[in-house]
Amino acid sequence: MKQSSDGRRTGPAPLPDGYHVFPPGKILNVVTWLEMRRPPDAPLAAPLPLDRVARPDPVWYRDLFRRIGTPWLWAMHLELGDAELAATIGDPALEIYAARDGASEIGLVVLDRHDPRSVEILDFGLVPDAVGRGLGRRMMAAALAHAFAGGPERVWLHTCTHDHPAAVPFYLSCGFTPYATGVEVLDDPRLLGLLPRDAAPHVPVLEPRR
Protein backbone atom coordinates (compact mmCIF):
# COMPACT_ATOMS: atom_id res chain seq x y z
CA MET A 1 0.00 0.00 0.00
CA LYS A 2 1.41 3.33 -0.98
CA GLN A 3 2.01 5.40 2.11
CA SER A 4 0.57 8.87 2.11
CA SER A 5 2.63 11.95 2.82
CA ASP A 6 2.65 12.98 6.47
CA GLY A 7 2.86 16.67 5.58
CA ARG A 8 6.25 17.09 7.25
CA ARG A 9 8.27 17.64 4.09
CA THR A 10 7.95 21.37 3.65
CA GLY A 11 9.86 23.83 1.56
CA PRO A 12 9.22 26.79 -0.73
CA ALA A 13 5.60 27.03 -1.89
CA PRO A 14 5.38 24.93 -5.07
CA LEU A 15 2.97 27.42 -6.66
CA PRO A 16 2.91 31.21 -6.46
CA ASP A 17 -0.09 32.98 -5.00
CA GLY A 18 -3.10 33.25 -7.31
CA TYR A 19 -5.30 30.96 -9.39
CA HIS A 20 -3.83 27.94 -11.13
CA VAL A 21 -5.93 26.08 -13.70
CA PHE A 22 -5.22 22.39 -14.21
CA PRO A 23 -6.11 20.37 -17.29
CA PRO A 24 -9.47 18.55 -17.48
CA GLY A 25 -9.24 15.00 -16.19
CA LYS A 26 -7.34 16.07 -13.10
CA ILE A 27 -8.90 16.63 -9.71
CA LEU A 28 -7.42 18.63 -6.85
CA ASN A 29 -7.69 18.17 -3.12
CA VAL A 30 -6.85 20.69 -0.45
CA VAL A 31 -5.40 18.45 2.24
CA THR A 32 -5.23 19.02 6.00
CA TRP A 33 -2.89 16.95 8.17
CA LEU A 34 -3.74 16.51 11.85
CA GLU A 35 -2.04 14.77 14.76
CA MET A 36 -2.56 13.77 18.37
CA ARG A 37 0.43 13.54 20.72
CA ARG A 38 -1.30 11.80 23.64
CA PRO A 39 -4.51 9.87 24.13
CA PRO A 40 -7.55 11.87 25.23
CA ASP A 41 -7.69 12.40 28.99
CA ALA A 42 -11.28 11.19 29.03
CA PRO A 43 -12.97 8.73 26.67
CA LEU A 44 -14.52 10.41 23.64
CA ALA A 45 -17.51 8.07 23.85
CA ALA A 46 -18.30 4.45 24.53
CA PRO A 47 -15.95 2.68 22.09
CA LEU A 48 -17.61 0.97 19.16
CA PRO A 49 -16.35 -2.63 19.01
CA LEU A 50 -13.80 -3.15 16.24
CA ASP A 51 -13.08 -6.60 14.83
CA ARG A 52 -9.47 -7.13 13.77
CA VAL A 53 -9.33 -8.74 10.33
CA ALA A 54 -6.06 -10.64 10.34
CA ARG A 55 -6.25 -11.98 6.79
CA PRO A 56 -8.55 -9.64 4.88
CA ASP A 57 -10.10 -11.10 1.75
CA PRO A 58 -9.55 -8.66 -1.13
CA VAL A 59 -13.13 -8.99 -2.40
CA TRP A 60 -14.49 -8.24 1.08
CA TYR A 61 -12.10 -5.34 1.58
CA ARG A 62 -12.79 -3.77 -1.81
CA ASP A 63 -16.55 -3.98 -1.24
CA LEU A 64 -16.45 -2.31 2.19
CA PHE A 65 -13.93 0.27 0.97
CA ARG A 66 -16.21 1.17 -1.96
CA ARG A 67 -19.36 1.33 0.16
CA ILE A 68 -17.69 3.78 2.52
CA GLY A 69 -15.51 5.76 0.16
CA THR A 70 -17.34 6.13 -3.16
CA PRO A 71 -19.17 9.33 -2.07
CA TRP A 72 -15.77 10.87 -1.27
CA LEU A 73 -13.79 9.57 -4.26
CA TRP A 74 -11.73 7.05 -2.29
CA ALA A 75 -9.83 5.25 -5.03
CA MET A 76 -6.53 4.20 -3.47
CA HIS A 77 -5.51 0.77 -4.78
CA LEU A 78 -8.85 0.12 -6.52
CA GLU A 79 -6.88 -0.51 -9.69
CA LEU A 80 -5.22 -3.56 -8.10
CA GLY A 81 -6.26 -7.11 -8.92
CA ASP A 82 -7.17 -9.56 -6.17
CA ALA A 83 -3.69 -11.06 -5.79
CA GLU A 84 -1.91 -7.70 -5.63
CA LEU A 85 -4.51 -6.22 -3.30
CA ALA A 86 -4.29 -9.26 -1.00
CA ALA A 87 -0.52 -8.77 -0.77
CA THR A 88 -0.95 -5.05 -0.15
CA ILE A 89 -3.55 -5.25 2.62
CA GLY A 90 -1.78 -8.29 4.06
CA ASP A 91 1.22 -6.11 4.97
CA PRO A 92 2.06 -7.03 8.60
CA ALA A 93 2.55 -3.33 9.41
CA LEU A 94 -1.15 -2.69 8.74
CA GLU A 95 -3.97 -3.34 11.18
CA ILE A 96 -7.38 -3.61 9.55
CA TYR A 97 -10.54 -3.38 11.64
CA ALA A 98 -14.23 -3.60 10.77
CA ALA A 99 -16.90 -1.91 12.86
CA ARG A 100 -20.31 -3.52 13.23
CA ASP A 101 -23.77 -2.37 14.14
CA GLY A 102 -25.53 -5.61 14.97
CA ALA A 103 -24.86 -8.00 12.12
CA SER A 104 -23.98 -5.26 9.62
CA GLU A 105 -20.46 -4.04 8.86
CA ILE A 106 -20.66 -0.27 8.90
CA GLY A 107 -17.11 1.02 9.29
CA LEU A 108 -13.48 0.55 8.39
CA VAL A 109 -10.34 1.54 10.30
CA VAL A 110 -6.84 0.90 8.96
CA LEU A 111 -3.79 1.67 11.09
CA ASP A 112 -0.34 1.91 9.54
CA ARG A 113 2.54 1.04 11.88
CA HIS A 114 5.42 1.18 9.41
CA ASP A 115 6.88 3.77 11.77
CA PRO A 116 5.98 2.52 15.27
CA ARG A 117 6.68 5.98 16.72
CA SER A 118 4.23 7.67 14.35
CA VAL A 119 1.05 5.68 13.72
CA GLU A 120 -1.15 6.75 10.83
CA ILE A 121 -4.90 6.26 10.74
CA LEU A 122 -4.75 5.43 7.06
CA ASP A 123 -8.48 4.82 6.54
CA PHE A 124 -11.37 5.84 8.77
CA GLY A 125 -14.93 5.88 7.55
CA LEU A 126 -18.54 4.80 7.91
CA VAL A 127 -21.05 3.66 5.33
CA PRO A 128 -23.45 6.50 4.41
CA ASP A 129 -26.40 5.08 6.37
CA ALA A 130 -24.33 5.11 9.58
CA VAL A 131 -23.26 8.76 9.34
CA GLY A 132 -24.91 11.22 11.71
CA ARG A 133 -25.76 8.70 14.41
CA GLY A 134 -22.85 9.36 16.77
CA LEU A 135 -21.09 6.19 15.65
CA GLY A 136 -18.08 8.02 14.21
CA ARG A 137 -17.07 9.34 17.62
CA ARG A 138 -17.48 5.89 19.12
CA MET A 139 -15.41 4.38 16.33
CA MET A 140 -12.69 6.98 16.82
CA ALA A 141 -12.58 6.20 20.55
CA ALA A 142 -11.87 2.59 19.70
CA ALA A 143 -9.43 3.48 16.91
CA LEU A 144 -7.37 5.71 19.21
CA ALA A 145 -7.20 3.00 21.88
CA HIS A 146 -5.70 0.64 19.31
CA ALA A 147 -3.49 3.29 17.72
CA PHE A 148 -1.90 4.38 21.01
CA ALA A 149 -1.26 0.80 22.11
CA GLY A 150 2.50 0.36 22.18
CA GLY A 151 3.13 4.00 23.10
CA PRO A 152 3.76 5.85 19.81
CA GLU A 153 4.88 9.46 19.98
CA ARG A 154 1.92 10.53 17.90
CA VAL A 155 -1.09 9.36 15.92
CA TRP A 156 -1.85 11.23 12.73
CA LEU A 157 -4.18 11.31 9.74
CA HIS A 158 -5.15 13.54 6.88
CA THR A 159 -8.40 14.64 5.29
CA CYS A 160 -9.28 16.71 2.26
CA THR A 161 -11.90 18.85 0.56
CA HIS A 162 -13.38 15.81 -1.20
CA ASP A 163 -14.23 14.33 2.20
CA HIS A 164 -17.37 14.90 4.26
CA PRO A 165 -17.62 18.64 5.06
CA ALA A 166 -17.76 17.82 8.77
CA ALA A 167 -14.50 15.83 8.70
CA VAL A 168 -12.16 18.56 9.94
CA PRO A 169 -14.54 19.76 12.72
CA PHE A 170 -15.01 16.13 13.75
CA TYR A 171 -11.29 15.46 14.05
CA LEU A 172 -10.76 18.72 15.93
CA SER A 173 -13.53 17.79 18.36
CA CYS A 174 -11.80 14.46 18.96
CA GLY A 175 -8.61 16.23 20.02
CA PHE A 176 -6.53 16.27 16.85
CA THR A 177 -4.43 19.34 16.04
CA PRO A 178 -3.86 20.49 12.44
CA TYR A 179 -0.22 21.00 11.54
CA ALA A 180 0.03 21.27 7.74
CA THR A 181 -1.97 21.94 4.59
CA GLY A 182 -1.21 21.07 1.01
CA VAL A 183 -2.64 20.25 -2.39
CA GLU A 184 -2.97 16.82 -3.98
CA VAL A 185 -3.31 16.50 -7.77
CA LEU A 186 -4.45 13.22 -9.26
CA ASP A 187 -6.31 11.65 -12.17
CA ASP A 188 -10.08 11.57 -11.74
CA PRO A 189 -10.88 7.95 -10.75
CA ARG A 190 -14.32 8.25 -12.35
CA LEU A 191 -12.74 8.86 -15.75
CA LEU A 192 -10.44 5.89 -15.15
CA GLY A 193 -13.43 3.63 -14.56
CA LEU A 194 -12.49 2.96 -10.94
CA LEU A 195 -15.60 4.64 -9.56
CA PRO A 196 -19.07 5.36 -11.00
CA ARG A 197 -19.44 8.52 -13.03
CA ASP A 198 -22.10 9.79 -10.62
CA ALA A 199 -19.90 9.36 -7.52
CA ALA A 200 -19.17 12.48 -5.46
CA PRO A 201 -21.47 14.90 -7.32
CA HIS A 202 -19.95 17.74 -5.29
CA VAL A 203 -16.79 17.31 -7.42
CA PRO A 204 -17.48 18.05 -11.12
CA VAL A 205 -16.30 15.65 -13.81
CA LEU A 206 -14.26 17.51 -16.42
CA GLU A 207 -13.63 15.51 -19.58
CA PRO A 208 -10.16 15.84 -21.09
CA ARG A 209 -10.14 17.82 -24.33
CA ARG A 210 -9.67 15.71 -27.42
80 within domain boundaries? no
pLDDT in tens, 35-77: 999 999 988 999 999 999 999 999 999 999 999 999 999 999 8
Query: Which region, left, alpha or beta, applies to residue 7 given φ > 0 means left and ψ of -120 to 50 means alpha?
Result: left
The pLDDT mean for the chain works out to 93
User: For residue 3, what pLDDT is reported?
Assistant: 55
117 within domain boundaries? yes
Q: What is the 3-state secondary structure (H, E, C) of the chain?
A: CCCCCCCCCCCCCCCCCCCCCCCCCEEEEEEEEEEECCCCCCCCCCCCCEEECCCCCHHHHHHHHHHHHHHHCCCCCCCCCHHHHHHHHCCCCEEEEEEEECCEEEEEEEEECCCCCEEEEEEEEECHHHCCCCHHHHHHHHHHHHHCCCCCCEEEEEEECCCCCCHHHHHHHCCCEEEEEEEEEEECCCCCCCCCCCCCCCCCCCCCCC
155 within domain boundaries? yes
CATH number at residue 151: 3.40.630.30
Average pLDDT over residues 4-13: 76
Tell whether pTM > 0.85. yes
**Adjacent-strand bridge partners of 178:** 34
Structural domain that includes position 169: 26-54+92-187
pLDDT in tens, 79-117: 999 999 999 999 999 999 999 988 889 999 999 999 999
The CA-to-CA distance between both ends of the chain, in Å, stands at 33
126 within domain boundaries? yes
* Number of domain units in the chain: 1
